Chain A
Amino acid sequence: MSIAFTPFRVRERAGRATFVLGALFLFLLAAFFRAQVIGTADFRRQSDNNRLRRLILASPRGFILDRNGKQIAENAPGFTVKLVASSRDSLKAVLKRIATLVPGAEDIEGPVVRRYDLASYQPALVFANASIETVAILEEHRYLLPGLVIRTEPRRLYGAGQAVAHLVGYAGEVSDDELVRGRFPGARPGTIVGKDGLEAKFDSVVRGLEGESFIEVDARGRMVRDESESQALKPVTGEMIRTTIDLELQTYIDSLWSADRVGVRGAMVAMTPDGQVLSLYSAPTFDPNELITGVSSRRWAELNGEAKPLQNRAIRGSFPPGSPFKLVTAAVALKRGLVDFSSHMPQSCTGGYRFGNRVFHCWKKSGHGSLDLTGAIANSCNIYFYQLGLRIGLPNFLAEATAMGLGSPTGIDLASERSSSFPPSTAYYDRLYGARGWSNAATLNLSIGQGENAQTLMGLTRFYAALAGDGTVPIPYVVQKPAGPRRSLGLTAEQLAGLRNALVAVVDRGTAAASGGRDLRVAGKTGTAQNPQGPDHGWFIAFAPAEKPTVVVGSIMEFALHGTTVAPYVVKVIRRYLAKSDPTLAKARIKMVIQEDSATAVSELIADSAAAPPPR
C-alpha cells in the first residue's frame, strides 16, 4: 500500500477536500442569493416583461353637448380587433388570412405592419371599430388566426352625422407625424385623438386616460391567457364639454343645404352678438362617423379631392369681401370723425368716378345722385365709398381696419383656423409692387371691399356681430368664453345705431307697414366676391331683430353670383332661431333690404317662400 494512504494523510486530504467543497458551494449559494434575494424585484419585472404583452384600453372620450344639453358627440359600444404576433412574418401570414375572410380588408396589411413596427411588444391594431359582422367572421375562424384579440371598446358616435362634421371634427388614431411633433401629450402609437374641430381643439379635455391590461404569451408569442380582468388599469373617461352650439339650428342649416343647395360649396355661421357660436356649417360636408370606422383609400382620396369636403370653409376659406366691407369703411370714417350720417361727398354718383386716368364705376350705371352716408350704405353706392376711402387716407384706413381685427384670425376655439388677410400698412404694397409700383387707386378698391383683402366668413361675421352688439369685436367661441379685453370699433352708441339703421333704412322708407301681424326687421348686407377663376361667390351677413339684435348669421356660397341667392337661407336660419324664444316670429313678415348689383329692392319674405328669389 502506498504511503500516501496512511490514515493521517488521508484524513488531512479529506479535510482539505471538505474545505474546498464547502467554499465552492458557498460561492454558488452566494450567486443564487444575489439573484433571488437581492435582485429579485428586477428579475421579476423582467419575467413579467417576458410573458406579458401590454394591451392599451382606449378611454371613452368625453361627451360633447350643445347649449341645451343635447349630445353632439357620444360613445357607442364598438369592437377593436388586435393581433399578438411573435414576428413580422407571422403577423403578415395572419393578416393575409384576414384579408381573404373579411370583405373590404384587402389593404389592411400595410398600416397594421407599420403599427407593429412602431411597437412590436404590444398587440397590433387591425380594426379600430369592427362591425359585428366582421367580428362574427373572425370569431368563426379563430382557429386560423392565432393571436387574435377582440375587445369591446367605446366608439365615437356623432348622432347628427354630417350636420356637425366641421364643427366637431372627428377622432382617429394618432399619426406618426403627430407623435413625432408631440402634438398630443401622452399619446402613444394607437391612441385615439381628436383630428379636427372641437375633438382636436379640446382633445386634452375629452380624451381621458387610457387603461392597460395584459395578456400572457408564451416564448413564441402565442397568447395563452387573458389577464385583463386581474391586472387591468381601468381607462378613465374624458371630461364632458358643453358648447354654445344650438344643435337644432345646426341640423336645420344642414337640412336647408341638403334640400336644394346640394353640391354648392360654402359655409354658414350663426352667433350671438357677444360671440357665442350657435352654428357653424361648411359644405360640402361628410359623415364623421365614417372616418371613425375607417374609410377605404378610395373614399379617403375622395375626401381630399377637388371639392375638399374635409375643409372647414367657415374658418379656413377666405374670399374677397365685396360690399359687406363698406360698413368697415363707414365705421372707420365715423370713428375718425370725418363724416356723420348726413354727410355728402363732393362728387355725387353719376355711375363713375375718375381717379387719375382711370374711371371707377358704381354698380348702378345711371348713378345714385347725391347721397348722405345712410343713403350710401342703404344703396351700397361705390362712388360715395371711393371718396370716403380717399378722405380717410390709405395709411389710416389700413391701420384702423387692422385694429378692428380684419387682418387677424378671430381666435375661435376650433382647430386650424386661417386668418383673414388685410394689409396692415402701406409697407405691404411697397413690398408687393415696389415703392412706386402702386397708386392710391388701391384705396378705392379697398374702400368697397375689393383689392388686397380676403376675409373668412367667421372674420367678417364677427365684425357684424360688433355692429349688432356693443361695438366691441367679439372673439367667437364654442366652448369657453374668452377672457381679456376685446377690440373696440371706437364708435359711439349713436354711431352704432346709425349704422344699424342705415342697413334697414329703406325698409322704413319703402313699403309701409301694410297688413297686420308682426314684422321682423332684418339688417343685412349682400356682397359679391369676385372670383377670377369662375362665377362670383355670394355673401350675405345679417342680424336681427334690427332694433335689438340677438343673432348674427353670415353665409358664403361659392359660385352663387351674388348675395341675393344666399340671403333667403340666412333669413330662414335667423327666423328659425328667433322663433325659439318668440314663437310669434315664426309667421312674422320679414322686412329687409337687399342690394343687388342691378337694383336695390325692399324684400318681404314670408316664411317658407324664401327658397324663391326675393321679389324686386
Chain B
Amino acid sequence: MRTTLDRPLVLTLLALAAYGLAMVYSAGQTDLPTAAERAWVRQLVWMLLAIGMGAVAFRLSFRILEWGAPVLYGLGLALLALTLVIGTGAGTAAGTKSWLAIGGVRIGQPVELAKIGAILLLARYLSGLRQPPQTLIDLVRPGLIALGPFLLVMLQPDLGSAIVFVVILFAMLFWTGVKPSLLLLLASPIVSLLLAVDTRWWGAWILLLTVLLLVWRTYVAEGVLIWLVNSAMGVVAIILWNGLKPYQQKRLMSFVNPEADPSGSAYQAIQSKVAIGSGGWFGNGYLHGPQKRLAFLPEQPTDFIFSVVGEELGFLGVVVALALFLILFLRLVRIARRATNPFSSLVVFGILGLLFAHVFENVGMTISVMPITGIPLPFFSYGGSFVLACGISMGLVLRVAYDSRSSGYLES
C-alpha cells in the first residue's frame, strides 16, 4: 500500500488558507484605500513560501530535529534577546519591540522561531523521561525551558506571545502524562496572581488550595512551597500591576469593563464587537461589512481579521471557521496519538498547543472574552513570520502523520 499525505489534514489546511486569504483580500477593500489594499497579494506570496518551507520541514528527519532542538532553541533565545536591543514595534503592539529590524527594514518576528524551538526542546526533554514527572521538582527543568523565552517576550513586552509559551508548556506536560492535579498546582500561582485583583476571590482561592493540598496529600515541603508561593502572589500581583506599562494596565482594565473608556483603549474591543454583532446570522455580505469598509475596525488585516469574518459572513461564517479549526485540532490530536515515537508525538501536541493558544486568544479578543493582546490568527492574519511558522509546523505534523502511516499504524 502506497503511503500518502494525511488527506483530511491537507484539505482542512487548504480550506483554512483559502478562507484566510479571502478575508485578507476583503480586509483591504475599504472605501478610502489603505496600505492593506493589496496585502492579499503579499499574503499569497507568504503562503506559497510557507508551503515551500513546510515541504522542507516535511523532508527533515526527526532524528536531526531532536538533535538540533537545543541549537534552534538557543538561536531563538538569542534572536529574542537581540530584539530587545534593536527591535521595533508594529500594529497593535506599536510600543513593543517584537520585530527584528536591520536598517529600518523589519525582517521578522523571532518569537515565532522561539516558539518552535521551545516545542522541540520540550519534546526532546520530555520524551527522554522514563516516566511522567510526578512532583514539582520534576517540573522545574521543563518549566525553565519555557521560562526563558517567556521572560524575554515579557520584556518586549508581548503578553500574548508570553501566554502562548505557557499554554505550550502545559499542553506538552499534559501530553507527557503529568497528572491534572499536579498541573493545577503548577498553575496555581498564576490563578492566585489573577484572582489577586479582588481580595475576596483571592481568599476563597487560597482556602480552596489549602483543601486541595490536603486532599491530594502532596509532599509536605511541596505543599508548603505552593501555599507560600500562592500567598506571595497576592502581594506580587500588586507589584506587577504597578510594573506594567500604562497601556498594558489599560488593556487589562478595558477587558474587565470595555464601556468605561469607549474612545480610548477599549475602542478596539468595542468596535470589533459591534462589527461582529451587527453581522447577525448571515452577515453583511462578503466585502460589504460597513464597519470594515469605513475602517472602524482596528488592524483589520492582521489582529482583528476575525471581526471581518463576523461582520461580513455572520454567525454562519464564524461557525464554519471555528469548525475548520476544531477539525484541524482534532486531527492533530489524532496524529499525536498515532505518532511512532514520544518525541514526534509531543512535537505535534506542542504545535497543537501553539495553534490553539493563538486561535483561542485571537478569536476570544475579537468578541471580548479574552483581553486584547496582539497575536495573530493562524492561516488568517496577514503577516510573514507567523505564516512561515505555521507552514513549518504543518510540514512537521504531516511528516509525523506520514511516518505513522508508513509504519503501518492500525487502529486498535
* A interface residues with partner B (beta carbon < 8 Å): 1-5, 7, 9-11, 13-14, 16-18, 21-22, 24-25, 27-29, 31-33, 35-37, 39-40, 42-44, 46-47, 50-51, 216-220, 222, 224-225
Q: Are A42 and B277 in contact (CB under 8 A)?
A: yes
| Interchain CA distance A143-B120 in the complex, whole Å | 58
Q: Are B296 and A35 in contact (CB under 8 A)?
A: no
B174 within 8 A of A: yes
The size bracket of the interface on B is 35 or more
Q: Are B369 and A36 in contact (CB under 8 A)?
A: no
| Interchain CA distance A217-B291 in the complex, whole Å | 10
Q: Max chain B CB contacts within 10 Å: which of A33, A51, A217, A219?
A: A219
Query: B277-324: which have CB < 8 Å to A?
Result: 277-281, 290-291, 294-296, 310, 314-315, 318-319, 322
Q: Are A218 and B177 in contact (CB under 8 A)?
A: no
Q: Which of A2, A5, A25 contacts B322 (CB 8 A)?
A: A25
Chain A positions within 8 Å of B278 at CB level: 40, 43-44, 46-47
Question: Beyond A3-B130, A18-B330, A51-B291: 12 further Cβ-contacts under 8 Å?
Answer: A4-B129, A5-B342, A10-B345, A28-B322, A32-B310, A35-B273, A36-B276, A39-B277, A44-B280, A46-B274, A218-B294, A218-B296
Chain B positions within 8 Å of A27 at CB level: 369
Q: Are A10 and B294 in contact (CB under 8 A)?
A: no
Closest A residue, CB atoms, query B326: A25
Given A4-B176, A11-B337, A218-B32: A32 touches B315 (CB 8 Å cut-off)? yes
| Interchain CA distance A5-B339 in the complex, whole Å | 10
Give the A-B contact count at a CB cut-off of 8 A: 142
Q: Are A37 and B280 in contact (CB under 8 A)?
A: yes
| Interchain CA distance A22-B330 in the complex, whole Å | 9
B138 within 8 A of A: no
Q: Are A4 and B132 in contact (CB under 8 A)?
A: yes
A-B contact pairs, 14 of them (CB 8 A): A2-B131, A2-B176, A2-B342, A5-B345, A17-B352, A21-B330, A25-B326, A31-B368, A36-B315, A37-B315, A42-B277, A47-B290, A219-B294, A224-B32
Chain A positions within 8 Å of B129 at CB level: 2, 4
| Interchain CA distance A128-B277 in the complex, whole Å | 39
Given A14-B337, A29-B319, A51-B296: A22 touches B32 (CB 8 Å cut-off)? no
Chain A positions within 8 Å of B132 at CB level: 2, 4
B275 within 8 A of A: yes
Q: Are B294 and A216 in contact (CB under 8 A)?
A: yes
Given A36-B310, A218-B32, A219-B294: A31 touches B369 (CB 8 Å cut-off)? yes
| Interchain CA distance A545-B118 in the complex, whole Å | 114
Closest 6 CB pairs of A and B: A43-B277, A4-B177, A47-B278, A218-B294, A35-B277, A36-B315
Chain A positions within 8 Å of B271 at CB level: 50
Chain A positions within 8 Å of B333 at CB level: 14, 17-18, 21
| Interchain CA distance A219-B273 in the complex, whole Å | 15
* B interface residues with partner A (beta carbon < 8 Å): 30-32, 127, 129-132, 174-177, 271, 273-281, 290-291, 294-296, 310, 314-315, 318-319, 322, 325-326, 329-330, 333-334, 336-337, 341-342, 345, 349, 352, 356, 360, 363-364, 367-369, 412
| Interchain CA distance A35-B314 in the complex, whole Å | 10
Chain B positions within 8 Å of A39 at CB level: 277
Chain A positions within 8 Å of B329 at CB level: 21
Q: Are B291 and A47 in contact (CB under 8 A)?
A: yes
Given A33-B315, A43-B274, A44-B278: A50 touches B367 (CB 8 Å cut-off)? no
| Interchain CA distance A29-B321 in the complex, whole Å | 11
| Interchain CA distance A44-B289 in the complex, whole Å | 11
| Interchain CA distance A219-B279 in the complex, whole Å | 18
Q: Are B367 and A21 in contact (CB under 8 A)?
A: no
Q: Are A36 and B277 in contact (CB under 8 A)?
A: yes
**Nearest CB on B from A214, distance (A):** 12
| Interchain CA distance A10-B412 in the complex, whole Å | 12
**Nearest CB on B from A90, distance (A):** 15
Chain A positions within 8 Å of B342 at CB level: 1-2, 4-5
Q: Are A36 and B330 in contact (CB under 8 A)?
A: no
Chain A positions within 8 Å of B274 at CB level: 43, 46-47, 50
Closest A residue, CB atoms, query B330: A18
Q: Are A47 and B275 in contact (CB under 8 A)?
A: yes
| Interchain CA distance A225-B319 in the complex, whole Å | 32
Chain B positions within 8 Å of A25 at CB level: 322, 325-326
Q: Max chain B CB contacts within 10 Å: which of A10, A28, A217, A222?
A: A28
Chain B positions within 8 Å of A219 at CB level: 294-296
Chain A positions within 8 Å of B315 at CB level: 32-33, 36-37
| Interchain CA distance A109-B364 in the complex, whole Å | 46
